[in-house]
């Protein structure tokens, strides 16, 4: 069903809620004499409302918006909910972990990035996809460089970011010219008719689009180094990773694939994207875990290990089957509470200790009443893929999808990386269990304890009873083209 601009507003209600909240906190934050302590609550309320409105879209079917620029289907609803929840959690972590200068600006940028990532999950046109990547990247740059000096390193990063943007724009224009339209379905038909004559050019163009958001994410955060807060790292690890995966899924399955007779998706002749995607997943898993072995900062350890988590999620896409796609969505939903819980606990622990080293959480599991240490331990065990936590359910489904497809070697590499990730997180767990007389205990406020308890309960409960996650993943796998 195709809807015009006026009829599309109801289906864009999550983005409207986020946008209105962003404008409200930005405008109110401009008044110096106004009590701005409630701006964070307004922003969190707007993000929470977007989650509720996105959940209401579930089951409404496939709807095209704004002359086929966007599509609302099960996949889009899944990522809208995930991005909204990530925005709520990140605002919570950021605003309670430390005093935030220009609070209204921070909240507005987080909400603006969430709007762009929401729309990115619905993009069904190269023009809308490009604009969403640009908007999300601009908001991220504003968050990471609000007070950053304009030194040569930052200027060089801006130049590289501009080059990446031009590369994506050029690739999008080439594909649109090749197909005669930026619409995904038109490009899909053109590729399957003409790709045997130019598979290499199509592959390069698709790669330039897929890597644009991860490259901009790396450029923005790398130039800030240790100054990137745990909350921002959590936003990048979950919301931006979700937006990038949504863009990747749309492009690989809606444009570069067609359902095969064996139940899997196949690319056009001469353009098999599964081997390079498998290699990318293996590299991301391995490098993320190896980098975590050397990292001494607790928030940065969680940030680099999130690269490995994205690598695991890519394995389901590399399988190119319905089971693999469901496993990817299941893994994202299963690890989200644990990832947010780990960043939240690390923010509280490092604030109490006054430093970010892993040693700042030393002995917290031995101290009576240290709920932060327990919350961090539960989250890390889930991210390691240990039963009976939610991360184990997602990891098991991914390995099952690989074995079903006959990728035993890749499944073995993933299993080895699971052991490696346990070694990485084991460094933190050992510090939590080590004796440390007089270690500072993070003080919990009621809403902090409630938030951490909710995330820990979701991590444990969804591992013991994963059926809601399985049903959500199954309903969300709806693809273009039909």
pLDDT tens digits in sequence order for the chain, 482 residues long: 666 666 777 888 999 999 999 999 888 877 765 555 578 888 999 999 999 999 888 765 678 888 888 988 888 999 999 999 999 988 888 776 555 556 778 889 999 999 999 999 999 899 999 999 999 999 988 888 765 555 677 788 888 888 999 999 999 999 898 888 899 988 988 888 765 567 778 888 889 998 988 888 888 776 654 444 667 788 888 899 999 999 999 998 888 888 776 667 888 877 888 899 999 999 999 999 998 888 888 888 888 888 899 999 999 999 888 889 999 999 999 999 999 989 888 888 887 777 778 888 887 877 655 677 888 899 999 999 888 899 999 999 999 999 988 899 999 999 999 999 999 999 999 988 887 666 566 667 777 778 888 888 999 998 889 888 888 888 888 655 44
What is the C-alpha separation between 108 and 142, in angstroms, rounded?
10
Q: What is the pLDDT of residue 225?
A: 45
State the sign of the Cα–Cα–Cα–Cα dihedral 327, 185, 251, 245.
negative
Neighbours of 135 (CB within 10 A): 17
Q: What is the pLDDT of residue 482?
A: 44
Q: For the residues of 70-94, what is the DSSP string, one character each?
A: EEESHHHHHHHHHHHHHHHHHHHHH
Neighbours of 458 (CB within 10 A): 19
- 312 near 328, Cβ under 8 Å? no
In the three-class reduction of DSSP (H, G, I as helix; E, B as strand; rest coil), residue 458 is classed as helix
In the three-class reduction of DSSP (H, G, I as helix; E, B as strand; rest coil), residue 250 is classed as helix
CA torsion, ordered 350, 354, 358, 361, to nearest 10 deg? -70
What is the C-alpha separation between 466 and 249, in angstroms, rounded?
24
Residue 345: is it exposed, middle or buried by C-beta count within 10 angstroms (0-12/13-18/19+)?
buried
Tokens of 254: 């809606």
What is the C-alpha separation between 468 and 330, in angstroms, rounded?
10
Tokens of 477: 């796998």
Tokens of 313: 């999620």
What is the C-alpha separation between 68 and 277, in angstroms, rounded?
28
Tokens of 121: 């999950």
Q: 64: closest CA among 184, 200, 191, 226?
A: 184
- 417 near 308, Cβ under 8 Å? yes
Tokens of 280: 């990318």
Q: What is the pLDDT of residue 381?
A: 92
Q: What is the pLDDT of residue 197?
A: 64
- The one-character DSSP state at 398 is H
Helices (H), 150-297: 152-179, 184-194, 199-210, 212-222, 230-235, 241-249, 274-294
What is the C-alpha separation between 350 and 477, in angstroms, rounded?
39
What is the C-alpha separation between 233 and 349, in angstroms, rounded?
16
Distance of alpha carbon 152 from its chain centroid, rounded? 30
What is the C-alpha separation between 321 and 336, in angstroms, rounded?
23
149-183 burial, b at 16+ Cβ within 10 Å, e below that, comes to eeeeebeebbeebeebbebbbebbebbbebbebbb
Q: What is the pLDDT of residue 481?
A: 47
Q: What is the pLDDT of residue 423?
A: 92
What is the C-alpha separation between 228 and 26, in angstroms, rounded?
22
- 108 near 128, Cβ under 8 Å? no
Q: What is the pLDDT of residue 71?
A: 87
């Amino acid at each position: 069903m195709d809807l015009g601009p006026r009829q599309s507003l109801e289906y864009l209600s999550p983005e409207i809620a986020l946008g209105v909240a962003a404008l409200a906190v930005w405008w109110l934050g401009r008044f110096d004499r106004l009590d701005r302590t409630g701006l964070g609550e307004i922003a969190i309320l707007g993000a929470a409302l977007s989650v509720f409105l996105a959940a209401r879209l579930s089951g409404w079917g496939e709807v095209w918006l704004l002359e086929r620029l966007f599509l609302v289907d099960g996949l889009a609803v899944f990522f809208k909910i995930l991005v909204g929840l990530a925005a709520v959690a990140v605002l919570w972590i950021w605003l309670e972990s430390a005093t935030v200068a220009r609070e209204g600006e921070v909240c507005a940028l987080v909400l603006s990035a969430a709007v762009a990532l929401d729309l990115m999950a619905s993009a069904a046109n190269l023009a809308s996809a490009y604009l969403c990547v640009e908007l999300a990247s601009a908001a991220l740059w504003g968050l990471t460089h609000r007070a950053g000096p304009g030194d040569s390193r930052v200027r060089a990063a801006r130049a590289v970011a501009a080059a990446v943007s031009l590369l994506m724009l050029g690739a999008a224009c080439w594909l649109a010219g090749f197909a005669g339209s930026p619409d995904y379905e038109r490009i899909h038909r053109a590729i399957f008719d003409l790709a045997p004559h130019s598979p290499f050019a199509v592959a390069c163009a698709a790669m330039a689009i897929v890597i644009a958001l991860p490259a901009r994410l790396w450029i923005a955060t790398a130039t800030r180094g240790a100054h990137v807060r745990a909350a921002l790292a959590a936003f990048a690890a979950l919301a931006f990773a979700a937006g990038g995966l949504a863009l990747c899924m749309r492009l690989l399955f809606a444009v570069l694939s067609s359902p095969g007779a064996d139940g899997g998706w196949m690319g056009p002749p001469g353009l098999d994207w599964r081997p390079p995607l498998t290699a990318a997943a293996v590299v991301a898993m391995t490098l993320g875990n190896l980098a975590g072995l050397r990292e001494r900062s607790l928030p940065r350890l969680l940030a680099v290990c999130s690269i490995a988590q994205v690598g695991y999620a890519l394995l389901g896409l590399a399988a190119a089957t319905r089971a693999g796609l469901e496993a990817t969505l299941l893994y994202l939903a299963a690890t989200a509470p644990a990832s947010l819980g780990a960043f939240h606990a690390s923010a509280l622990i490092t604030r109490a200790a006054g430093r970010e080293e892993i040693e700042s959480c030393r002995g917290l599991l031995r101290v009576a009443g240290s709920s932060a240490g327990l919350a961090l331990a539960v989250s890390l065990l889930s991210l390691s893929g240990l039963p009976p936590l939610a991360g184990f359910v997602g990891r098991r489904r991914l390995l099952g999808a690989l074995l079903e497809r006959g990728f035993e070697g890749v499944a073995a590499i993933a299993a080895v990386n699971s052991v490696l990730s346990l070694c990485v997180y084991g460094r933190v767990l050992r510090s939590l269990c080590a004796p440390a007389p007089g270690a500072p205990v993070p003080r919990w406020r009621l809403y902090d304890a409630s938030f951490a308890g909710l995330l820990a309960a979701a991590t444990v409960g969804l591992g013991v009873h994963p059926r809601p996650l399985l049903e959500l993943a199954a309903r969300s796998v709806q693809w273009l083209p039909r």
